[in-house]
Amino acid sequence: MKEAKKKKPETSIGVSISALGAFSVYLITGLFLAVGFWVVRDKYSVDLISDPSLTLRLLWIIEFPIVVIIYSLFRRNPEKCSYFRAVGRSILGLISGALINALGAVSLGAPIGMQSLPKTIHWSFLMSVFTVVPATAVFGASWADWHRVFASLKPTGNIEYMILIPAYGATIGGWFGAWPMPLDWERPWQEWPICVCYGAIGGYIVGQMVSLSLMILLRKHKSLKLA
């Protein structure tokens, strides 16, 4: 087990990334999220509250390419797996991730009427971009890596922190985002999936920050250990 761990950084991680690199990746993804919101507001003059399904669709359509483009650079085994293959498999990952997210949301109590179906679909695509797509771009179908990172929570290397923590952050943020929904404030943002979206985006950003600080902390820790 230990040997395998030692081996992995050498062979399977194609491009390693520094904390600064991770920061710039986060900056770019955050920027594109902001661009998405800007496009929605200025070009289509709607927002999350007035037209959630259109907004969510635009958001994930804008966010998805940038996430794929960036994370495919860090794919495992770059010598065996071409860049375009990574892009291709992350499209598959997008769809299956959306399915998983949608099922999870429905089992937690998302409305299942016909009129909320498009909202649920686009919400789960966005969640998929946050959670599953980076992992598919990097790991592909390597079940062992998935299992190690997501189920056993044993990430190694900065790129795995970058995949794991924001994904969990988005999920947990979405979970907490559902809490205001039953309240009788009668605000428009209490509708499904608006506050869940806000929660997920917030959790995603918090996750990014946590992963950044973890990277910095762990690097210092390592260097201390080495010294």
Partner 1 sequence: METYLKNKKLTALGFLLIHAIAILIFTRGFLLTRTELPFHSTCSDVSLSPCLASPRSNHDSSSGQSNQTQPKCWTKPVVDRVIIIVLDALRIDFVAPSAFFPEPKPWMDKLTILQKLAFANESSAKIFKAFADPPTTSLQRLKGLTTGGLPTFIDVGNSFGAPAIVEDNFINQLVLNGKRLVMMGDDTWTQLFPNQFQKSYPFPSFNVKDLDTVDNGCIEHLFPTLFKDDWDVLIAHFLGVDHAGHIFGVDSSPMINKLEQYNSVLEKVINILESQAGPGGLHENTMLIVMGDHGQTLNGDHGGGTAEEVETTMFAMSTKKHTTLVPPEFDTSSCKQNKDGNQMCISYIEQLDFAATLSALLGISFPFGSIGHVNPELYALGSSSWNLDKSDLGNSGTQSAANEWMKHYVDVLCVNAWQVKRYIDVYSNSSVVGFSSDDMSRISDLYSAAEQNWSNSVKHILMDRNGDDGSTDISALLKEQIAEYLNFFSSVVELARSKWTEFNLNLMITGFGILVISLILQFLAVFHGDNSYAVGSWLSTGAAFTLFIVTIRACSFLSNSYILEEGKVANFLLATTGLIKLRYSVMRKTMRKEAFMFLAMVFVLRVSIDIGLTKQAATSQFMSSSPSWMLGIAPDHPALTYAIEIAPILSVLILICVLYVAIAKAPNEGVWKYVTVSSMLLQVTGGRNRIPQTVYVIGLVQLCLLASARMFCTEKDKNWAIRTVALVSACSSPVILLSGKQGSMLALVYLVAGYCIMRLEGVERRTKSDGQSKFSKLNPLCVVQWSLLSICMFFASGHWCAFDGLRYGAAFVGFDEFVLIRQAILLTIETFGFSIILSVFGLPLLIPVHSQTPQAHGEKRHQLFQMYMLFGVISATTVTATILCVTIQRRHLMVWGLFAPKFVFDVVGLILTDLLICLASAYYL
- Which residue, 36 or 155, is less far from partner 1 as judged by CB? 155
DSSP-assigned beta bridge partners for residue 13: 76
> Who's near 79: CB < 8 A, 6+ residues apart?
14
The yes or no reply on residue 182 touching partner 1 (CB under 8 A) is yes
Binding piece for partner 1, criterion CB under 8 A, among 89-97, 109-117, 198-206, 216-224: 109-117
The yes or no reply on residue 113 touching partner 1 (CB under 8 A) is yes
Q: Minimum distance from CB of 88 to partner 1 (Å)?
A: 25
Residue 28 exposed, middle or buried by CB count within 10 Å (0-12, 13-18, 19+): middle
> Who's near 156: CB < 8 A, 6+ residues apart?
5, 8, 9
The yes or no reply on residue 27 touching partner 1 (CB under 8 A) is no
The yes or no reply on residue 1 touching partner 1 (CB under 8 A) is no
Binding piece for partner 1, criterion CB under 8 A, among 39-47, 50-58, 112-120, 158-166: 112-120
CA–CA separation, 159 vs 212, rounded Å? 11
CA–CA separation, 132 vs 171, rounded Å? 11
Positions touching partner 1 (CB under 8 A) are 104, 106-109, 111-116, 147, 151-152, 175, 178, 182-184
